[in-house]
Amino acid sequence: MTDLLGEDELAIEATLNGKPLKRRVKARQHLADFLREELQLTGTHLGCEYGICGACTVMIDGRVARGCLTLAAQISGKSVDTIEGLTESGKLARLQREFIARNAAQCGFCSSGMLLTAYELVRSGRSISRAEIRDFISGNMCRCTGYHAIVDAVEAVIAKNAEKGG
Amino acid sequence: MKARNFRYIRPSSLEEACRILADGGGDAVPLAGGQSLLAGLNMRLSAPKLLVDIGDLKELTGQTHHDGVVRLGALTRHAELLGSELIQKHVPLLTRAAAHIGHVAIRNRGTLGGSLAYADPAAELPACAVALGATLMLRSVVGEREVRAEDFFTGLFETELKPSELIVAVKFPAIQPGTAVGLAELSRRQGDFALVGLAAVASLQRDRIGTARLAYFGCVDRAKLAPAVSAAVRGLSMPLPDTSAFAQAIRQDLAPEDTAGLRADTKLHMATVLTRRVFNSLSQRATP
């Protein structure tokens, strides 16, 4: 089915932030644009739009993915979580507290993507070295270059995890 | 930028996917993980008319190990190459390679078959497939055929794959006792494509190199087997003190050309340094 501009449209059914989603989407629209423009979920940011910067990071079926390198059509049948849903659910609360405590979100542009990537890392519950943290977040660029504070924040959450576990 | 307009279809079986590709006559392009394809579409480097989403086809998944052969479905994600015990144990070169591919979000989505089909000259997995002597299983409406990895890559982003064909799986020989694998690359930044890279599989007799299969990437137009270097390093004792025994062979096998930002002699120098580095890392892991 095509609209007046000749853009192909199709119906999708997915889970978004834990709730069912039924929409018609444009075939050519990537997920980050869909979230921002059709659903007004503007916490997912757009930087480079070719997979380098990580600002558009979302979670698909529980793993981080690039919103700009995924078509909205591709999420049909899948579960997507964004910064909005994960914040509301409290899953990011500890990371967010540690980010705020040391001003690890400076301009804030990278923060939503950075938090989601960090969440995938700390969720594993294992102890993780500083070098591993740096490697893991290397696909999320912070142009304020506030990496030290970000790594500190992630490290603090992992340390507190370990205390709890031990 | 935004992608040009295209149509999207998600077939529910491999058979249906093959039929759509056959009917598409070259206007239909398969979409698996999309981590290179969608970046290219956003930059308008290509503009296919129809994307055929094969990303959920069960027939293209799965990992098995039988009679010394590890068969990996084309949709095996880079993250699985890193995390799968079967792959770590029997095809450890793939695990080492996956650590160099992009970043975690890319590795969660990108696929083995997609990387091979895309045939980026700087990608790690085509070189691993060539060095390991892998076999690609290709499928179309007319049936299935097998192509050796070293015959599959024919040029810059060019392969033996026909527009109507899909890679369904890749068969890798499981690692044998006395064999070591190594992979290293030089890139400007973490996660970037390699300027020069090398995937190596070598049999070792104590500290001596026996047979070696080497595939270079990044510095030439495709993942390239290096028979002259293999012959030159045969019988050498490790650690290699310098590069004099094989530097000329690298020149012969690769014959790189100047490209924007990187001269041919720089590439050769980097490939030579890297070769010694990879072999000496093998020796550190060699068991007596």
B233-245 per-position pLDDT tens digit: 999 999 999 999 9
**Tell me: the pLDDT tens digits for B5-44?**
999 999 999 999 999 999 998 899 999 999 999 999 999 9
**Tell me: the pLDDT tens digits for A34-53?**
999 999 999 999 999 999 99
Give the model's pLDDT for residue B284.
59
Does residue A66 sit in the same domain as residue A115? no
Residues A71-81, mean pLDDT to the nearest whole number: 98
Residue A49's domain comprises 9-83
Share of chain B above pLDDT 90, in %: 91
Question: For residue A2, what is the DSSP state?
Answer: B
Of A5, A7, A64, the CB nearest to B105: A64
Does residue A35 sit in the same domain as residue A99? no
Confidence check: pLDDT of B186 > 80: yes
Chain A / chain B CB contacts < 8 angstroms: 94
| Contact criterion met (CB below 8 Å) for B127 and B217 | yes
Give the model's pLDDT for residue A7.
82
* Segment holding B9, helix H or strand E: strand B7-9
Would you call A7 and B8 a contact, using CB atoms and an 8 Å cutoff?
Answer: no
Strands B7-9 and A79-81 turn out to be unpaired
Give the model's pLDDT for residue B191.
66
Give the model's pLDDT for residue B207.
87
- The CATH number for A79's domain is 3.10.20.30
Please state which of the four CATH numbers 3.40.50.720, 3.30.390.50, 3.30.230.10, 3.40.630.10 is assigned to the domain occupying B179-285: 3.30.390.50
Confidence class for position B287, pLDDT limits 50, 70, 90: very low
**Tell me: the pLDDT tens digits for B74-127?**
999 999 999 999 999 999 999 999 999 999 999 999 999 999 999 999 999 999
| Contact criterion met (CB below 8 Å) for B55 and B75 | yes
Provide ipTM, 2 decimals: 0.94
Q: Which residues of A touch B43 (CB under 8 A)?
A: 50
Please indicate, yes or no, whether the overall pTM of this predicted structure exceeds 0.90.
Answer: yes
Average pLDDT value for chain B: 95
Residues B150-177, mean pLDDT to the nearest whole number: 97
Give the model's pLDDT for residue B192.
76
**DSSP string spanning B23-53?**
HHTTSEEEESS-TTHHHHHHTTS---SEEEE
HEC string of B265-278 equals: HHHHHHHHHHHHHH
In a domain, A3, yes or no: no
Among A33, A58, A83, the domain-final residue is A83
Q: Which residues of A touch B51 (CB under 8 A)?
A: 27, 71
Give the model's pLDDT for residue B258.
94
Burial zone of B73 (CB within 10 Å; 0-12 exposed, 13-18 middle, 19+ buried) = buried
Average pLDDT value for chain A: 94
Beta strands in B93-237 (DSSP E): 135-140, 143-148, 153-155, 158-159, 166-173, 179-186, 196-205, 208-217, 224-225
- The CATH number for A118's domain is 1.10.150.120
| Contact criterion met (CB below 8 Å) for B8 and B20 | no
Task: Please tell me which residue, B261 or A85, carries the higher pLDDT value.
Answer: A85
In a domain, A129, yes or no: yes
Write phi, then psi, for A61 (nearest 5 degrees): 50, 40
Instruction: Count CB atoms within 10 A of the CB of residue A42.
Output: 14
Helix (H, G, I), strand (E, B) or coil at B142: coil
Phi-psi region of B65 (alpha: psi -120 to 50; beta: other; left: phi over 0): beta
The C-alpha atoms of residue A141 and residue A45 are separated, in whole angstroms, by 12
Give the model's pLDDT for residue B283.
64
Q: Which residues of B touch A69 (CB under 8 A)?
A: 34-35, 38-39, 42, 106, 109
Q: Which amino acid is at B86?
A: L
Give the model's pLDDT for residue B11.
97
